[in-house]
Chains A and B, each alone.
Chain A
Amino acid sequence: MYDDTRLTEGDVASMNTKISAKGVDVFYGDNHAIKDVNVEIKDKTVTAFIGPSGCGKSTFLRCINRMNDTIDVCRVTGDIRLDGEDINDKRVDPVQLRARVGMVFQKPNPFPKSIYDNIAYGPRIHGLARNKAELDEIVEKSLRRGAIWDEVKDRLNAPGTGLSGGQQQRLCIARAVATQPEVLLMDEPCSALDPIATGQVEELIDELRQSYSVVIVTHSMQQAARVSQKTAFFHLGNLVEYGDTGDIFTKPEDPRTEAYITGRIG
Chain B
Amino acid sequence: MTDATTPTPKRASLLAVDERTRKRNAAEARFKIYGIVAICVGVLSLVVLLAAILSNGIPAFQRTVVQVPVTVTQEQYDAAESTLFKTKEYEGLFVAALSAELTSAGIEADISSGALERLVGKVGNNLRQFYTANEVQLGQEVLFEVPAASRIDRYFKGTLAVENITADNRFIQPQDLDVAEAMKDAGLMATVFDWNFITGVDTGVDNPGGAGIGASVLGSLLMMFVVLFLALPIGVAASIYLEEFAPKNRLTDFIEVNISNLAAVPSIVFGILGLAVFIQYMHLPQSAPLVGGFVLTLMTLPTIIISTRASLKSVPPSIRDAALGVGASKMQAVFHHVLPLAAPGILTGTIIGLAQALGETAPLLLIGMVGFVARYPETFLGGLEGPNSALPAQIYNWVSRSDAVFTEKAWGGIIILLIFLLTMNIIAILLRRRFERRW
Interface residues of A (CB under 8 A from B): 65, 67, 70, 72, 95-99, 102-105, 107, 109-112, 121-122, 125-126, 161, 172, 175-176, 178-179
| B332 CB to nearest A CB, Å | 6
Q: Which of B315-338 contact A (CB under 8 A)?
A: 316, 318-329, 332, 336-337
Partner of A179 from the list B248, B316, B326 (CB cut-off 8 Å) is B326
Q: Which residues of B contact A110 (CB under 8 A)?
A: 322
Judge whether B336 and A121 touch: CB under 8 Å. Answer: yes
Would you list 9 pairs from A and B whose C-beta atoms are within 8 A, ordered by A residue? A70-B320, A95-B328, A97-B327, A98-B324, A98-B326, A105-B318, A109-B316, A112-B437, A161-B439
Interface status of B438 (Cβ within 8 A of chain A): yes
Are the CB atoms of B322 and A105 closer together than 8 Å? Answer: yes
CB B142 to nearest CB in A, in angstroms, measures: 63
Residues of chain A within 8 A of B318, CB atoms compared: 105, 107, 109
Let me know if A161 and B325 touch, CB within 8 A. Answer: no
Given contacts A72-B248, A98-B324, A105-B325, 19 further A-B contacts (CB under 8 A): A65-B325, A67-B324, A95-B327, A95-B328, A95-B329, A98-B326, A99-B327, A103-B325, A105-B322, A107-B318, A109-B318, A111-B323, A111-B337, A112-B319, A125-B328, A126-B327, A161-B438, A176-B325, A179-B326
Task: Identify the 9 closest CB pairs spanning chains A and B, nearest first.
Answer: A99-B327, A122-B326, A109-B318, A103-B325, A98-B327, A109-B322, A95-B329, A112-B439, A112-B437
Identity of the chain B residue whose Cβ is nearest the Cβ of A103 in the assembled complex: B325
Closest chain A residue to B337 by CB distance?
A111
A176 lies within 8 A of B321 (CB): no
In this assembly, does B247 line the interface, its C-beta being within 8 Å of a C-beta of chain A?
A: yes
Give Cα distance in the complex from A125 to B324, angstroms.
11
- Contact residues, B284-319 vs A (CB, 8 A): 316, 318-319
CA distance A57 to B154 in the complex (A): 83
Looking at the assembled complex, report how far the CB atom of B251 sits from the nearest CB atom of chain A, in whole angstroms.
14
CB neighbours of B324 from chain A (8 A): 67, 70, 98
Q: Which of B325, B328, B438, B439 contacts A67 (CB 8 A)?
A: B325
Shortest C-beta distance, B432 to chain A (Å), equals 16
Most chain A CB atoms below 10 A, which of B324, B325, B326, B337:
B326
The answer to whether the Cβ of B227 comes within 8 Å of any Cβ in the partner chain is no
Known: A109-B319, A121-B336, A125-B332. A98 touches B325 (CB 8 A): yes
Q: Does B351 contact A (CB under 8 A)?
A: no
**Contacts A105-B321, A109-B322, A111-B337 known; A122 to B327 CB distance under 8 Å?**
yes
Contact: A111 with B327, CB < 8 Å?
Answer: no
Cα(A103)–Cα(B318), bound, Å: 12
User: CA separation between A126 and B328, bound complex, in Å?
Assistant: 8
A119: nearest chain-B partner, CB-CB: B326
Measured in the bound complex, the distance between the Cα atoms of B385 and A4 in whole Å is: 82
Are A176 and B341 interface neighbours, CB within 8 A? no
Q: Are the C-beta atoms of B321 and A121 separated by less than 8 Å?
A: no
Contact A96 B438, beta carbon cutoff 8 Å: no
A125 smallest CB distance to B (angstroms): 6
Q: When each residue 329-359 of chain B gets 1 if its CB lies under 8 Å from chain A and 0 otherwise, what string results?
A: 1001000110001000000000000000000
Known: A72-B247, A72-B248, A161-B438. A111 touches B328 (CB 8 A): no
Would you give the shortest CB distance from A26 to chain B, in whole angstroms?
18
Contact in complex: B247, A102 (CB < 8 Å): no
Inter-chain CA distance A97–B319, complex, in Å, is 19
What is the bound-complex CA distance between A6 and B196, given in angstroms? 87
Query: CB-nearest residue of chain A relative to B318?
Result: A109
| CA–CA, A122 and B341, complex, Å | 19
Q: Is the CB of B319 within 8 A of A176?
A: no
Residue of B nearest to A98 (CB): B327
Among B321, B322, B341, the one with the most A-chain Cβ atoms within 10 Å of its Cβ is: B322
Residues of A within 8 A of B316 (CB): 109
Q: Which residue of A lies closest to B322 (CB)?
A: A109
A99 and B328 CA atoms in complex are apart in Å by 8
Give A161 to B327 CA distance when docked, in angstroms: 21
Produce 1/0 per residue, B194-227, CB < 8 A to A.
0000000000000000000000000000000000
Chain B 227-243 near chain A by CB (<8 Å), digits 1 or 0 = 00000000000000000
Q: Is the CB of B321 within 8 A of A179?
A: no
A112 to B332, alpha carbons, bound, how many Å? Answer: 15
Chain B residue contacts of A121, Cβ below 8 A? 323, 326, 328, 336
- In the assembled complex, the CB of A124 is this many whole angstroms from the nearest CB of chain B, namely 9
Interface centre among B324, B337, B438 (most CB of A within 10 A): B324
* Beta-carbon contact of A112 and B329 below 8 Å: no
Q: Given A72-B248, A95-B329, A122-B327, do A172 and B322 touch, yes or no (CB 8 Å)? A: yes
Q: Smallest CB–CB gap between B282 and chain A, Å? A: 40
- The residues of A that contact B248 with a CB separation of less than 8 Å are 72
CA distance A67 to B324 in the complex (A): 8
Q: Give Cα distance in the complex from A98 to B336, angstroms.
A: 17
CA distance in complex: A13, B247 (Å): 45
A125: chain B residues at CB < 8 Å are: 326-328, 332, 336
Nearest B residue to A105 via CB reads: B321
In angstroms, Cα B438 to Cα A121, docked, is: 20
For A104, the closest partner residue in chain B by CB is B325
Do the beta carbons of A112 and B341 come within 8 Å of each other? Answer: yes
